[in-house]
Amino acid sequence: MYNIFGLVSIKARRKMPASRIGFWASTGSRLLWRLFSQLKFAALLLLVVLLLAAFGSSLPQIPPEVAEDASRLAFWREAVRGKYGPFADLLWSLGLFRFSRSALFLAPLALLVVSTILCTLNRWRGVCRRALNRDVVCPEAVFESSPHRARLEAQADTRLWQTLRESLRERGFRLRSATSEGVLYLRAERNGLSPLATLVNHFALLLLLAGALLSGFWAWREELVIPPGETARISHSQGLALRNDGFTIRRYPSRAAASYEANVTLIEEGEPVRSGLIRLNMPLAHRYVRLYLRGYEGKEGAYTLRLLAGYDPGYPLFVIAGCIFLVSLCVSFFLPHACIQARMEPEGALHLAGHADRQAYAFAEEFASLIAELRQRMEKQDAS
């Protein structure tokens, strides 16, 4: 029985062979693997996430204290509707006023996490092999396909070989040599472990994304307004409260304000546990909660404090990932991997092959300088 086009049997279409299903499934999985494991695709997703983050930062976000109060939330929504007009309801339905938890932001972020993991899995074997597999004896193809190569005809003695070793040591290369069937082999490397910085960068990116997810789902902020001598409870932290013990404005002799200091006491389960000062840009930390000074109002001796209590579990991961990124990028750009391999045949022919990372911009000139130096030494030896 055929369909109206007379091309595909309906009965055959209903009973597609399992082998064909397996073929299309395996083909689709391979295509997805190739797509998500490409560095260019991961870079594109990263660009999309950054652009979305920039877009989200341009939209007002619902403060946590407003989201917990229905009346304040309704007032806030009316204010947004007055600003964005007919687009306010659309933005609200898309969840863009809680952008870090919206599907528009989380979907590409999740794809970026998957792509980063697959890209790392796809590259780690080759990178590790390149950094750790350092065979001294190498095949002929290495000296035929390397981007930098040369062949020098010398007399059948070891003087040129020793000259090569000395020249490479002077240039900071680490040497290893071997002999196979009467042929001398040499492998000279500089910054041999620097290719691993690529994997370290991927790990730092995963930490950064993990920090973003932790901050997006579990971070909170809460504004506290505390009259003088009064106590305010931190609703996000069970049993923790804050008491206003005074506010001091220190001044210069010219009467200009020098610093602002809020004296507070932390109360846990009804008992004072800690007293301290909160200054501008110098928060007070207690366990996982950090307290910031946002402002004050009132007159001298009776100031009402405006404080911000916050918790961000992703912040340590952001700091660690940033440090790892900085170190690995410095290694990649300032300590590029470079390798020169040499083979000297019994009759005296010397073969050289060199390759380096793209960041080693002067390697071509260095390789040419090495060859020129060896030829100059050969001419002096022939003249003597």
Instruction: Report d(CA 307, CA 295) in Å as an integer.
Output: 7
Give the architecture-level CATH label for domain 220-310.
Sandwich (2.60)
State how far the alpha carbon of 326 is from the alpha carbons of 50, 322, 334, 336, in Å: 19, 6, 12, 15
User: How buried is 365 (Cβ within 10 angstroms: 0-12 exposed, 13-18 middle, 19+ buried)?
Assistant: exposed
Residue 17 has pLDDT above 60, yes or no: no
State how far the alpha carbon of 295 is from the alpha carbons of 248, 279, 287, 302, 303, in Å: 12, 10, 23, 14, 10
**For residue range 26-40, what is the model confidence (pLDDT) as tens digits?**
677 788 888 888 888
Question: pLDDT value at position 6?
Answer: 43
**For residue range 239-274, what is the model confidence (pLDDT) as tens digits?**
899 999 999 999 999 989 999 999 999 999 889 999
| 107-110 own/partner pairs: CB under 8 Å, 24+ apart | 108/45, 108/48, 108/49, 108/52, 109/49, 109/209, 109/212, 109/213
Question: pLDDT value at position 157?
Answer: 66
At 9, the pLDDT band (50, 70, 90 cuts) reads very low
Higher pLDDT, 153 or 108: 108
Residue 22 has pLDDT above 80, yes or no: no
- Name which of 115-129, 243-257, 318-332 the model is least confident about: 115-129
Q: Chain-wide mean pLDDT for the chain?
A: 85
Question: pLDDT value at position 4?
Answer: 40
> Contact 62/73 with Cβ under 8 angstroms?
yes
Instruction: Report d(CA 292, CA 260) in Å as an integer.
Output: 12
Phi/psi for 104 (5° steps) reads -60, -30
Question: pLDDT value at position 293?
Answer: 94
Residue 128 has pLDDT above 90, yes or no: no
Residue 2 has pLDDT above 80, yes or no: no
Q: What is the torsional sign of CA 56, 60, 66, 69?
A: negative
Residues forming a β-bridge with 243: 231, 265
State how far the alpha carbon of 253 is from the alpha carbons of 67, 136, 190, in Å: 45, 74, 60
Residues forming a β-bridge with 291: 284, 309
Q: What is the mean pLDDT of residues 174-198?
A: 90
Select from 78, 100, 98 the least CA-distant residue to 89: 78
Question: pLDDT value at position 150?
Answer: 93
- Name which of 121-125, 271-275, 288-292 the model is least confident about: 121-125
Residue 16 has pLDDT above 80, yes or no: no
Q: What is the torsional sign of CA 247, 298, 309, 99?
A: negative
Residue 57 has pLDDT above 90, yes or no: no
Q: What is the mean pLDDT of residues 274-283?
A: 92
> Contact 272/266 with Cβ under 8 angstroms?
yes
Q: What is the mean pLDDT of residues 303-308?
A: 93
Question: pLDDT value at position 25?
Answer: 56
353 Cβ contact partners less than 8 Å away, ≥ 6 residues apart? 142, 143, 146, 148, 149, 340, 341, 342
Domain 134-191+336-383, CATH class in plain words: alpha beta
| Cβ neighbour number for residue 342 with a 10 Å cutoff | 25
